[in-house]
Amino acid sequence: MAFTIIFFIMHLSSNLSKKILAWYDNNKRDLPWRVSKNSKKILYYRLLSEFMLQQTQVKTVLPYFRKFRLIFPTLDSLSKSSEKKVLKMWEGLGYYRRARNLLATSKILTKNYRSQLPNEYKEIIKLPGIGDYTANALQAFIFNKPTLAIDGNVKRVFSRLLNKNENKINFKSLIEINKKNLFRLNRNSDLVEAFMEFGALVCKPKEPDCQNCKLNNICIYFKSKNKFVKTLKVKPETKSYNIFCYINKEKNQIALTKKNNLGFLKNFYLPPMKEVKDGSLLRNWKHHSNFKNLISNKKLDINLYYKYTKKNPMQTEWFSLKNNYEFIPSFTKKIFKEVLKIN
C-alpha cells in the first residue's frame, strides 16, 4: 500500500500542483488576510487569522478579524494592549486561550524579533499557541518556504485522491517524498492556500462536488466503486460540573475566583467549580438550576448551587451582578443571569 501511494503521488504531484493552482487562481475567495507577499501587513494579518481560524470557520472569523484590524492596526499596537481588552474583543469567538497566546506571541515578536517572524521552524514553534500546522503555514505564507500545512481540508483532499482513510496515511512522509514535484512551480504560499481552499469549497466533508472537480481525472476515490469509509469522530463526552455561587444578597454581589483546575477555563473569573461523577444533590447548598453549555468543544452539564453569605470566601473576590465587566467571559455572564433569577 505504501509503495502504491508513493508511486501515485510521485507520478502526479507535478500535474496536481498545476491543476489545483489553476483552480485556485480562478476560484479563491477574497479574504482580508490574503494580502500581497510584499505587504508590510502580511505577518500581522497572517498571524491574527491563523490564531482565529484554529478550530473555527472562516465565516465566523471574518467579523472578528475586521474588528481586531480596526482596533489594533499593527502587531505593535496589539502587543501594547491589555489582556482584558483583547479578551473583550475576542468575546464570542470561543477558545479564549488563543487570545492569550496571540497577545503573548505579539509581545515576544515585538520585543525579541523587532516585529518580525523568526526564519527557522524550531524558533517559530516555540511561540505561544503555535504548533506544527501553524508553524508550517506561517513559513509558507511569510517566507514562501516549500512546506505544506496539514489541516483537515488538506488531509481530506489527499485521502480522496488516494481513496485511503486519513488514519492510514503518513502525511508528513507523503509530502516529504514528493516535495520536489509538488513545489517545483515555486508558488509555495499559494499552494498551501490552494489545497485548503479546495478542501473547503470543492472536496467538502459532506457532498463533495466530484462531478465538477478539476482533479476527478486523477482521483481514485472518484473512479473507484469501493470508496473508503471515513472513520467517524468520537463525539465529546458530556461532563458534569457543580458551580458554587456565594452571594452577598445585600450588596448584590457574587464571589469569583481565578483559582481552578479546569485547563479550558484557566485564569478566567468564575464561581468555584468542581467536576462531579454522579448527579446527587449537595447538602448545605440550595440547588437553583441545571443548564447545558459548550466551551472549547467540551460539553458541560451544569448544576448551579448557591448560598448567601457576607464573608468573603477564600481566594475569591466580590463582583457586582449588575456590572457588565469587559474582562469576564460570556460563560460567567450566563451564570450572572441565572443568579439574578433567584428571588
Q: Which of 50, 193, 197, 338 does the annotation list as catalytic?
A: 50
Give yes or no for a contact between 150 and 197, defined as CB atoms under 8 angstroms apart. Answer: no
C-alpha–C-alpha distance, residues 255 and 305, integer Å: 13
- Looking up cell 511561540 gives 127
- Clarify whether 50 is annotated catalytic: yes
- CA–CA separation, 254 vs 249, rounded Å? 9
Phi-psi region of 328 (alpha: psi -120 to 50; beta: other; left: phi over 0): beta
Secondary structure of the chain as H, E, C letters: CHHHHHHHHHHHHHHHHHHHHHHHHHHCCCCCCCCCCCCCCHHHHHHHHHHHHCCCCHHHHHHHHHHHHHHCCCHHHHHCCCHHHHHHHHCCCCCCHHHHHHHHHHHHHHHHCCCCCCCCHHHHCCCCCCCHHHHHHHHHHHHCCCCCCCCHHHHHHHHHHHCCCHHHCCHHHHHHHCHHHHCCCCCHHHHHHHHHHHHHHCCCCCCCCCCCCCCHHHCHHHHCCCCCCCCCCCCCCEEEEEEEEEEECCCCEEEEECCCCCHHHCCCCECCEEEECCCCCCCCCEEEEEEEEEECCEEEEEEEEEEECCCCCCCCEEEECCCCCCCCCHHHHHHHHHHHCCC
Q: Are 215 and 195 in contact (CB under 8 A)?
A: no
Positions marked active-site: 50
